[in-house]
Structure formats: C-alpha cells, structure tokens
Structure 1
Amino acid sequence: MSLSTLPLSYCTNVHPGKTIEEIASGLTSFTIPARQQLGDRIAAGLWLPASAIAQIQEHSAKVSQLQNVLQEGDLVCYTLNTFPYGNFHSERVKEQVYLPDWTTEERLAYTISCAHVLAELMPEGTEGSLSTVPLGFKGFQRPSDFDDQCIQNLLKLTEELDRLHDETGKVIRLAIEPEPLCVLETTPETIQFFEKLFSEADNQGHDQIARRHLGVCYDVCHQAVEFEETAKSIEDLTASGIRINKVHITCAIDVKNPWEREAARDQLKQFVEQRYLHQSFARSSNGIVSATDLSVELCENPPEEFRSADLWRVHFHVPVDAESVGELGTTRPELENALSAVAKLDYAPHLEVETYTWNVLPGERDIPLVEGLVGELRATRELLKRIGSD
C-alpha cells in the first residue's frame, strides 16, 4: 500500500488571483483559515497564471513573498497547477483554458518558469509536480504534426527539468492531465501518445530522463465522465509504464435515468453557466455519446442518443464529500475505486483536492468557502485513512 504521507493538497485555482498579491491574499483569506479549522497541516497547490510568473521574472523577491505567507500559515507547497495559463476567473473561460497548447513556445516557457518557482517553494526532501493541459483541445484546428510538435516541446522541458535537478537536487515531474474532448482524453489515447513520446525520447537518447520527469495527472472525475472504470484505467496506465505523478481528487455529476426524472433535469439546468466548459456524456445500449457543453437545450430537448440513455455524466466538479446533490448523484464511488487502485502502486503520487467550481455552484453560494474546503479536506482524509487501513 502506498498513499502519500505529504500533507493533503488543495488546489488554489478556486481563488481568483492574477497577481502575487492577490494569490497571497487568497492564501490568507481562505487556505490558512481552512488549515486552522481542519487542525492539521495542508498543502497549497498553487495556481500561478502567466501574469504572476511575469511579476516574479521582473522582481525575484516576489517568490519570497509567497514563501513568507506559506511559512506564516504553516502551509507547504509541493505542486503547482500550470494548466490555466491566463485568467481562470474571467467572465468566460470555456475552451480557452486549453490555450496556449503544447505546440507553442509560450506553453513551454511558462512551464519551465513555473518549475523554477516550485523548486524555490517546495520543502527539502520532497519531489514536485506540475499539472498541465492535455496537449490541446480536439475542437480546435490542429496541424497534421500536432503530436510531434508537442513531443519535441515536452522533451525540451525534460532537458530543463533534468538540468534543474542537477543544479538543485530537486526532482520536478510534469503531470499531463487527460480531459474529456481533449487531445488526450481516454486512457487508450493517453497510452498511445506516451508510447510515441517515449519512443522519440529513446531515439534522442533521453528515455531515462523522459520517464523520470513525464507522466500524467489523473483527474478522477475526468475518466469517470468518460464512463471508464477508474481502477482499471489506473492499472492500464501503470502496466504501460506511465507514471501517475499527481491525482486530482474530484467528483462530477451523475444522473441516472434522466429522461424519466424531470426534477433531476430541472435541477441540472441550474448548473448551466457561462464560465467553465462542462462536457456532457450519455451512456445507452448503443454506446456513449457526448455534447461539448451542458446547456438548457440539452436538458429540455436532447438528441435521441441522450434521451434514450440510462445515465448522463457531466464534467462539473462538485464537492468531493457529496454522494448526491439534491436530485443529482455524483461520481464519488469511482473516486473511492481510483484511490484504492492508487494505494496499490509502488510509489506515492501527489494527492490534491481540486474543486474549482465553488463560485459557480448553484445553491452553494450560501456556504462559506472555508467551510466548504474544510468539509472536502476532512472527508478526503477520512477516506484515505480508511483505504490505507484496508
């Protein structure tokens, strides 16, 4: 059994923060009070957008500002969310969150900069991780050599991470995060890409450092929304030699027999919102179909493939301590299955709760954010303790 003994991480992308000052304020206003209420040490999984990284590049003392806040709040930081590059709390994020993609110099340079910042923030004796976009979004036009361009940039990153390791003694691993309707979406697609990636790394004589520094961020609800069996998915990734560097502890919406339950569909309509993309999937006897985003039209007048389905799942992160949300179910059973599979690995991936949707959750706005965070963290600690003792 191998579950991380590091303090459980909570991703701070739930807090708006385009500048170091705003990020520090979020830690002071939410993360530190959550740590105090919980009574145990937690980790801040920082989200540092490109605007904050630019500040650090202009004024290196900005890193000290973050270090001071972390120290004062008795927080640690061993992982960064480098998925959202721009403003993750703008009025409309949707599919723009996947830009820039991994073919671009902007994505490569930003990730390298984040690695150097993390090397300064992370405690001695720990390894670090950076979660990142699943290469790009399938809905965007891509060149025929898209994968090859991504691979070349990822291998450039491994060279820099290897150099950083030589200079600092700190290992920082990239965690590519498969997501519904993205270039890396399903487990088979992810395995196929990594086979190509490692083959090219071997051709360049960099196989060892590529395997040390490159792996996946396993966001549990992403694969659950795809109707994958999460435990088998983790087993398949492991059997293919792909390291799970980070696990996002997440739950999504699950609606059983939706067309027979008007009240459930009425409640689901309340989750339609304009900021984030909520890829929606339906399972029927004819297979699995998808819609790019949740909409009122999908709930009221869905295509026949959705109408005849026995189960819908929607990529809308809901609190991980919730087995249901009103009339709607959640994918929490798949979370338990996934973490049980993670516990069987011979290494310990970083574990991070990542419910970034508190500000757009219908009916949850009356719950103070700190109280919500504490509920999730406490329930996750209890779940991990139970799994670890099995």
Structure 2
Amino acid sequence: MTLSRLPLGYCTNVHPAQTVAGVVEGLDRFTVPVQRRVGRPVAAGLWLARPVVDEILATPDGITRLAAELQRRGLTTYTLNAFPYGDFHAARVKEQVYRPDWTTPEREAYTLQCAAILAGLLPAGEDGSVSTLPIGFKGFNPPPDFTAAAERLTAVAVGLARLKDETGRAVRIAIEPEPFCLLETTDEAVAFFDKLWQTAAHRGAETAVREYIGLCYDVCHQAVLFEDQATSVRALDRTGIRINKVQVSCAIHLERPGENSAGRDALRRYVEPRYLHQTYAKLEDGRVVKAVDLTEGVLANPGAEFLAADAWRVHFHVPVNADRLGPLATTRPDVKAALDAIAGLSYAPHLEVETYTWEVMPGDGPPDVVAGLTAEIEATQRILTPA
C-alpha cells in the first residue's frame, strides 16, 4: 500500500522548543539522526509554538532562514502542528492545550501565520497542511460557541485562498477531533462541518471553506472512542469532508478491566501530571462511558460500570510499533485498519507519526527517543509498503 509519495515523518511536538534555535536544536539532536538510521528521507512535521512564530515573523527573512536550515539538513516539511499554542512541555499542560479556542482572534491569527510560514517551507509543487484543535474543550464552562468558531474558520479559509493567490501554495487546515472535545466523534465532526458550510455559504465563502478546511484524522483518538476506523473514514468521505492529514498513533487498551488487576496496576505507571489522558470504557451493551483523565482516583474507585466494561482505552500516545506494554495491550491493529481505509480515498492525505509522550513514558531511565522514533517510522513504513 502506498498512500503518499511524500516522505513519512513524525511530529516534532515531542521536542521542547520555544525559540527558533530550540527548533533547530531538536532537528539536529533527533530528526537528523532518525533520518540517518532510517536510511531514507524523513519529513519534519514541525510544531512552531506562538513564541517561535513571533520570532520567525519578526526576523528579516525569518521564513527563508528556517527553510535554509531544513534544506541544509536534507529535511522535508509539508505539515505543521498548530494545535499546541503555548508551552507544550510545561509542568502541567492538561486542558490548557485547548486554549485559545476557535472562537478567539488569537487562534485565527496564529493559524494563518503558521500557514504563511509553511507556504515558504513547502517543497516545490506540494500542498501543505496545518493541524489544529477541535474547536475547544467540552469541560470548559461555558464551552466555546460553535457559531463563533464557524465564523473564525470561514475567515481563515478566505485568508488561505488569498495566500494561494499570493504565493501559489495551497495550505489547508486540518481540524483534529479528540476525546472530550467539542469535536470528538465522527458524527460530531459531520454535524459541525454542516454548520460550517452553512455559515460559509451565508458569507459567500463556501468554495474556499470546502477547499481549505478539513480534518486531521488521529488514529489514536478515534480508537479511544471505540470507533470502527473504516466506518469513520467512509462516513467522512461520503459526507464530503476532506481528510487533510492523518496522525499515525496508538492508545492503551485494557481488556476485561474488572478481572485484570495486573492491567489496572500497570495503568498506574501512566498517571502523570503533564498531559490529559481521557479514559473511555466500552460496556457489554455497546455504550461508552468516560472519565476526563486517567487519575489515581479513577483507578482506585472506577465505579461499577467502568469495572464491568469489556475494555478500557486511554488517550496516552504509545509507540505505534508496540503490540503490548507488559499486561496492557495497544490499539495498534487500528493503525492498519485506518491506513487501509485511507488508501481507498481518491486523494492522498499527509501522514505523520505522532507520539509526543516520550518524556512522560514510564520507564527506568530517560527514553532513547531517536531509537523509538526510528522504530515507529520503520513499522509504519512496513504497513504502507508491505513486502
């Protein structure tokens, strides 16, 4: 199976970087060695935090300079991750990663600036993609307003059409559904895009929105929800929602939690203070119940429904080449199912591996991130191009 002619890569949000120098240091410390080990071109799916974007745009020829740094290292960039806005490696990120949300001018401006930077980094003749958050977080009170978000995204689409006219480069937005967010399920994504298209039509911008606003399909996220990957991909395609980007990622899976005390004990090693690890349980009757985060409290007193569930899945990105983590399983089978379904589309979305949790992964010492990323890329490449 070959989905894209572009080099497979990984998302650099795994590397802390609040300056351009920090971004380049991450490329030298991790990305270049990964490319050397893989033995083929590797794409750097850049994460450029708000301060990095400000620095690039405030520096004369800042985009050209970053492009030159990539070129000197033989690295390709065709997609950015503009989901995390601030410090994604702060001591506590959790729900703050969903701020600013898509009702705010800050999110609109940052996304358009990321797109303008990417237009200057793209390989000749290639389109770009910029992934972003799923409108906002359901746990906020009040939650972000869909109508205001649709207006913002319509304005972004118009800006991206203008960018294409000015640069000749098409850069598309990829909204990334995620557990416990305003867009988490495929059905919620379909409903929102219907509203978005209606809003765009009222503004005379439906053509731009349909061209430049689509989805980032994160395999881990849909697996946590217990969605069938092929069904989800087909539903999006049937509705006319373009998948602009696919993040190849795995979640934790625990079978029969009520009978698997060793598995529940193993999950305690994944309780950590930085990122949100939404935890979902599928019941025998097909219903799915959820907890906003994996905590000691959830594990100590999960409740009758959670204990009686057929399985738990946890939004903790684990290596995509791992079938098991001790007594825990992973959702690795979903990766192949999703990629098989994506291969049936009439176009080729951008692909990247996204395991950003290496720093918080349980273990006896610091992880060998270069070895881990290399193994993930090679395992994914074997799915894409089987012998």
TM-score bracket, normalised by the shorter chain, equals over 0.9
Query: Can you list the C-alpha shifts for 1:300-340, whole angstroms capped at 9, x where unaligned?
Result: 22111111111000000000001111111000111110000
Structure 1 Cα separation of the partners of residues 9 and 142 of structure 2: 34
Structure 1 Cα separation of the partners of residues 295 and 142 of structure 2: 26
Structure 1 Cα separation of the partners of residues 79 and 347 of structure 2: 16
Q: 1:364 and 1:371, CA in 2 relative to 1: closer, same or farther beyond 3 A?
A: farther
Listed as ranges, the matches of 1:139-178 within 5 Å are: 139-142=139-142, 146-178=145-177
Query: Can you list the C-alpha shifts for 1:141-176, whole angstroms capped at 9, x where unaligned?
Result: 236x81110011101101110000001111100000
Q: Which runs of 5+ in 1 are unaligned?
A: none
In structure 2, the residue matched to 1:136 is 136
Listed as ranges, the matches of 1:40-119 within 5 Å are: 40-119=40-119
Structure 2 Cα separation of the partners of residues 193 and 12 of structure 1: 29
In structure 1, the residue matched to 2:210 is 211
2:223 equivalent to 1:224: yes
In structure 1, the residue matched to 2:349 is 349
In structure 2, the residue matched to 1:234 is 233
Structure 2 Cα separation of the partners of residues 284 and 154 of structure 1: 36
In structure 2, the residue matched to 1:380 is 380
Q: 1:289 and 1:197, CA in 2 relative to 1: closer, same or farther beyond 3 A?
A: same
1:88 is paired with a residue of what secondary structure?
coil
2:330 equivalent to 1:311: no
Query: Can you list the C-alpha shifts for 1:37-95, whole angstroms capped at 9, x where unaligned?
Result: 11000100000000111112211333233222211211110000000000000000000
Query: Can you list the C-alpha shifts for 1:105-155, whole angstroms capped at 9, x where unaligned?
Result: 000000011011001011110000000000000000236x81110011101
Structure 2 Cα separation of the partners of residues 235 and 134 of structure 1: 20
| C-alpha RMSD over aligned residues | 1.3
**Aligned residues of 1:224 and 1:230 also touching (Cα < 8 A):** yes
In structure 2, the residue matched to 1:202 is 201
Structure 2 Cα separation of the partners of residues 162 and 232 of structure 1: 31
Listed as ranges, the matches of 1:251-270 within 5 Å are: 251-270=250-269
| TM-score using structure 1 length | 0.97
Structure 2 Cα separation of the partners of residues 69 and 164 of structure 1: 23
Letter in 1 for 2:148: Q
In structure 1, the residue matched to 2:33 is 33
Runs of 4+ in 1 over 3 A off after TM superposition: 364-367
Structure 2 Cα separation of the partners of residues 123 and 106 of structure 1: 28
Letter in 1 for 2:200: A
Structure 2 Cα separation of the partners of residues 99 and 178 of structure 1: 15
Letter in 2 for 1:284: L
Structure 2 Cα separation of the partners of residues 239 and 112 of structure 1: 28
Shift of 1:264: 1.0
In structure 2, the residue matched to 1:243 is 242
Listed as ranges, the matches of 1:318-333 within 5 Å are: 318-333=318-333
Q: Once structures 1 and 2 are overlaid, which stretch shifts more, 93-102 or 260-269?
A: 260-269
Structure 2 Cα separation of the partners of residues 60 and 328 of structure 1: 51
Structure 2 Cα separation of the partners of residues 64 and 20 of structure 1: 13
In structure 2, the residue matched to 1:360 is 360
2:270 is paired with a residue of what secondary structure?
coil
**Aligned residues of 2:2 and 2:385 also touching (Cα < 8 A):** no
Structure 2 Cα separation of the partners of residues 39 and 178 of structure 1: 33
Shift of 1:382: 0.6
**Aligned residues of 1:358 and 1:365 also touching (Cα < 8 A):** no
Q: 1:364 and 1:86, CA in 2 relative to 1: closer, same or farther beyond 3 A?
A: farther
**Aligned residues of 1:225 and 1:252 also touching (Cα < 8 A):** yes
| TM-score using structure 2 length | 0.97
Structure 2 Cα separation of the partners of residues 275 and 87 of structure 1: 11
Structure 2 Cα separation of the partners of residues 109 and 332 of structure 1: 36
Structure 1 Cα separation of the partners of residues 25 and 175 of structure 2: 28
Structure 2 Cα separation of the partners of residues 26 and 164 of structure 1: 29
How many residue pairs are counted as aligned between the two chains? 386
**Aligned residues of 2:57 and 2:63 also touching (Cα < 8 A):** no
In structure 2, the residue matched to 1:187 is 186
Query: Can you list the C-alpha shifts for 1:201-249, whole angstroms capped at 9, x where unaligned?
Result: 1222211111110100000010110010011000000000000000000
Letter in 1 for 2:348: A
Structure 2 Cα separation of the partners of residues 211 and 28 of structure 1: 38
Structure 1 Cα separation of the partners of residues 246 and 233 of structure 2: 11
**Percent identity among equivalent residues?**
51
